[in-house]
Amino acid sequence: MESHHEDYPYTIPEAFVVTTADILSSARPGSRRGTMENYIKRLADLEKIALDFQGVKNAYAISAGRELRVFVTPEKVDDFGALDLARRIANRIQSELRYPGEIKVNVIRESRAVEYAR
């Protein structure tokens, strides 16, 4: 057990397994105390970037921050505008934030029409 932080030499084969497990568990978001605050801040920063754009109603960072769902007002953003907005949000995320992997920006434009037959 004492060799899993590499302070002591590996004396038994299980020490390699314990070291590997420690490395894998520490890589998870929120696994260490200091990283949980950074993780939550990163999600909030993603949402804030999207909310800064005109026509955006709500934004939610989901899937551990690997996807950003942006809901827009259909009267203010048309179909082509939604595509342009997704591109502009993605470019701003690339320029302002540091993150592992990639982030999918999903702009959702929903309009509903309801009528009743009586």
Report whether CATH 3.30.300.20 matches the domain 35-109.
yes
102 close to 66: Cβ distance less than 8 angstroms: yes
Mean pLDDT, residues 32-55 taken together: 88
Q: Where are the domains of the chain?
A: 1-31, 35-109
63 Rama class: left (phi>0) / alpha (psi -120 to 50) / beta: left
What is the C-alpha to C-alpha distance for residues 61 and 65, in angstroms, rounded to an integer? 5
pLDDT at 38: 84
Three-state DSSP class for 63?
Answer: coil
| Reported pTM | 0.68
With cut-offs at 50, 70 and 90, classify the pLDDT of residue 10. Answer: low
Angle at the Cα of 65 from the Cα atoms of 62 and 66, rounded to 5 degrees:
90
Percent of the chain with pLDDT over 90: 58
Angle at the Cα of 42 from the Cα atoms of 41 and 46, rounded to 5 degrees:
115
Mean pLDDT, residues 13-20 taken together: 75
